[in-house]
Amino acid sequence: MKQADLLIIGGGPAGVTAAIYAARKGLDFMMISRDIGGQAAWSGRIENYTGCQVVSGPELTARFEEHLKKFSIRLVQPETALSLTRDSGRFRVSGEKDAYSASAVIVATGKRSRLLGVKGEKEFLGRGLTYCAVCDGPLFAGRDVAVIGGGNSALDAALQMSRIASRVYVLESSGDFTADKILVNRLSAAGNVEIYKNASVMEVRGGRFVEGIRFSAQGKESILPVRGVFVEIGLAPNSEFAAIASRNEKGEIKVDCSNGTGVPGLFAAGDVTDVPEKQIVIAAGDGAKAALSAARYLLSL
């Protein structure tokens, strides 16, 4: 079992920032994560991160990694936390690779893509269906694709694909976009984008690879002959392993203004929490607060 005073779980903007602040405080800590960058690594174009007028997700992730290398950080990667328990004032985390023990823990595990839950989704994953336009978009250059969703991530994906795909179909279910107005305007100006509102996807179909989707819109069922399907219908928090923390109906960990969870020594930061706005800059700020709060807690022991 690996031990430290503080364990940081997650390597997205919140986890990375927490690690940087913990290092500057001189804390004895470890960081475990599946990757570095988290959801930020999937973004094609980031325009609202302070100090970076425009930066891509991969570029920002590279800057995160460069910043981490400035410090001597005990990083275990890739690693996924499976359970979190507390006994006699110390936390125990069981991971896929090892077990970890710490006096304080910061959970910064972010969120994961929600599933459509329709026929063909699992069968065609990696064979034309994907949850990451940044990762897989170039594979569909010159082809017709569909983007499912109406929020920022969906419109960002649609805009990315409009530059390389032959035609982009956007299907959103709520009747109107929830994305930022600037993204809606850009999408409306794209000449190769067709939008379906109040659309419900019923099936992803094909042979060896995706060949189309069956959907209904305004009471009419149709089939779109597409070769790629990008699912962008929201995110679910990676909080199941942290059952000792109180969570809301969405599964998000409840935190106070100091990122405390109500469990002494347990803090949470970023998109895994119930902080209302899910933004990279907010997650980073949360990570800083959580690290400072954890340092204060450790001094009190």
Q: Burial letters for 14-28: b for 16+ Cβ neighbours within 10 Å, e otherwise?
A: bbbbbbbbbbebebe
Q: How many domains are there within the chain?
A: 2
Task: With a cut of 80, say whether residue 135 has pLDDT above it.
Answer: no
Instruction: State which H helix or E strand residue 236 sits in.
Output: strand 235-237
Q: In the listed set 173, 202, 231, which residue is the last one of a domain according to the structure?
A: 231
User: Which amino acid, residue 2?
Assistant: K
pLDDT score for 139: 87
Domain that holds residue 263: 2-112+235-300
pLDDT tens readout for residues 214-242: 999 888 999 999 999 999 998 899 999 99
DSSP single-letter state for residue 241: T
pLDDT score for 159: 95
Measured in degrees and rounded to the nearest 5, phi and psi for residue 148 equal -105, 120
Task: With a cut of 90, say whether residue 207 has pLDDT above it.
Answer: yes
* β-pairing verdict for 199-206 and 193-196: unpaired
DSSP single-letter state for residue 252: P
Own/partner pairs, 275-283, CB within 8 angstroms, 24+ separation: 278/111, 278/235, 279/48, 280/13, 280/40, 280/43, 280/46, 280/48, 280/49, 280/60, 281/13, 281/48, 281/49, 281/50, 283/12, 283/13, 283/14, 283/17, 283/108, 283/110
pLDDT tens readout for residues 251-275: 999 999 999 999 999 999 999 999 9
Question: Is the domain of 119 the same as that of 98?
Answer: no
Q: In the listed set 173, 197, 231, which residue is the last one of a domain according to the structure?
A: 231
pLDDT score for 276: 87
Q: Which residues pair with 37 in a beta bridge?
A: none
Task: With a cut of 90, say whether residue 49 has pLDDT above it.
Answer: no
Question: Is the domain of 202 the same as that of 261?
Answer: no
- CATH number of domain containing 122: 3.50.50.60
Instruction: Name the residue among 206, 205, 225, 223 with its Cα closest to residue 214.
Output: 223
Instruction: Name the residue among 288, 233, 244, 234 with its Cα closest to residue 266.
Output: 244
Task: With a cut of 80, say whether residue 29 has pLDDT above it.
Answer: yes
Task: With a cut of 90, say whether residue 78 has pLDDT above it.
Answer: yes
pLDDT tens readout for residues 15-25: 999 999 999 99
Question: Is the domain of 219 the same as that of 296?
Answer: no
Question: Is the domain of 194 the same as that of 150?
Answer: yes
Task: With a cut of 80, say whether residue 47 has pLDDT above it.
Answer: no
Residue with tokens 């109406």: 150
Question: Is the domain of 179 the same as that of 43?
Answer: no
pLDDT band at 43 (very low <50, low <70, confident <90, very high): confident
Question: Is the domain of 184 the same as that of 254?
Answer: no
Q: In the listed set 231, 264, 280, which residue is the last one of a domain according to the structure?
A: 231
**186 or 126: whose pLDDT is higher?**
186
pLDDT band at 99 (very low <50, low <70, confident <90, very high): very high
Residue 293: is it exposed, middle or buried by C-beta count within 10 angstroms (0-12/13-18/19+)? buried
Question: Is the domain of 201 the same as that of 239?
Answer: no
Question: Is the domain of 175 the same as that of 196?
Answer: yes
Question: Is the domain of 125 the same as that of 69?
Answer: no
Task: With a cut of 80, say whether residue 42 has pLDDT above it.
Answer: no
Q: How many Å from the N-terminal Cα to the C-terminal Cα in the chain? A: 22
Min mean pLDDT across 7-11, 51-55, 106-110, 295-299 is at 51-55
pLDDT tens readout for residues 146-171: 999 999 989 999 999 999 999 999 99
pLDDT band at 53 (very low <50, low <70, confident <90, very high): confident
Question: Is the domain of 67 the same as that of 156?
Answer: no
Q: Mean pLDDT score of the chain, rounded to an integer?
A: 93
Q: What tokens were used for 276?
A: 């209302």
Q: What tokens were used for 210?
A: 């995706």
Task: With a cut of 80, say whether residue 48 has pLDDT above it.
Answer: no
Please list the active-site residues. Answer: 132, 135-136
d(CA 124, CA 128): 6
User: Which amino acid, residue 253?
Assistant: I
d(CA 241, CA 34): 14
Task: With a cut of 80, say whether residue 134 has pLDDT above it.
Answer: no
